[in-house]
Amino acid sequence: MVMLQRFVFKRLRLFYSGNQEITKSLLTIFPAALLDGHRAAGHRAKSSLPDFKERTLIAVKPDGVQRHLVGQIIQRFEQRGFKLVGLKMLQVSEDLLSQHYCELRSKPFYPQLLHYMTSGPVVVMVWEGFKVVNTSRMMVGHTNPAEAKAGTVRGDFSFHISRNVVHASDSLEGAQREIQLWFENKELLTWDCCDQKLTCEEE
């Protein structure tokens, strides 16, 4: 203990003599205390960040593209405050679609769904933000437009389940799987949006 005290005293003396390197070595002596102090000082670890970095896949289906609804659908996500991190237009292959809808392959409507989804280009996007998966499902509305509330995309732009305009991932796991399926990593951007501090209080 005495040895330690002497050591710390010596280091402190050197510190006050202005040697920067000593500051560093002192920091390594008490890492745990520093960490606690850092937390106590209100610098919360960025543990809440993943929520804000949540991502989901949204696609304007061929009927939405043909009906010139792409802009209006993008606008809804923009005005809600979400951040666009990926966007492209493509003609979907049957192979990609069968992977996307792998859980629906045995459904009676699957052949029609395949035909519908490959009938023209789709616009596929990745949106990022707080609880974006859940919120975008609410914004998109019920699968069956006849039951979708007014104010939702499907409730405002469609009336039949066979042409429901838009796709939205239904869970965090689903979103991750679909994003990897439709996008390469290099097609997704990490960027700072200048309104970030205006849309929620920083944690």
Contacts of 17 (CB under 8 A, 6+ apart): none
Both tokens assigned to 42:
């209100």
- Per 3-state DSSP, the chain is made up of helix, strand and coil in percentages (nearest 5) of 55, 15, 30
The contact mask relative to Mg ion for 156-195 (x = CB under 5 A, - = no) is: --------------x-------------------------
Q: Which of 161, 172, 188, 193 binds ligand UDP (CB under 6 A)?
A: 161
* Least distance in angstroms from the C-beta of 61 to ligand UDP: 7
DSSP type of residue 93:
P
Name the strands in the sheet holding 166-168, side by side, starting at the edge strand that comes first in the sequence: 83-90, 122-128, 55-60, 166-168
Contact indicator for 62, 121 with CB cutoff of 8 Å: yes
* Catalytic option among 68, 142, 160, 167: 167
Both tokens assigned to 137:
């499902």
Residues 81-120 contacting ligand UDP, CB under 6 A: 104, 109, 113
Q: If you compute the radius of gyration of the chain from its CA atoms, what whole number of angstroms results? A: 26
The contact mask relative to Mg ion for 53-82 (x = CB under 5 A, - = no) is: ------------------------------
Residue 162 found at the interface with ligand UDP (CB under 6 A): yes
- For residue 156, the partner it binds in Mg ion, ligand UDP, none, with Cβ less than 5 to 8 A by kind, is none
Q: Is 167 a catalytic residue?
A: yes
Task: Return residues touching ligand UDP (CB under 6 A).
Answer: 104, 109, 113, 143, 161-162, 164, 167, 170
Task: Return residues touching Mg ion (CB under 5 A).
Answer: 170
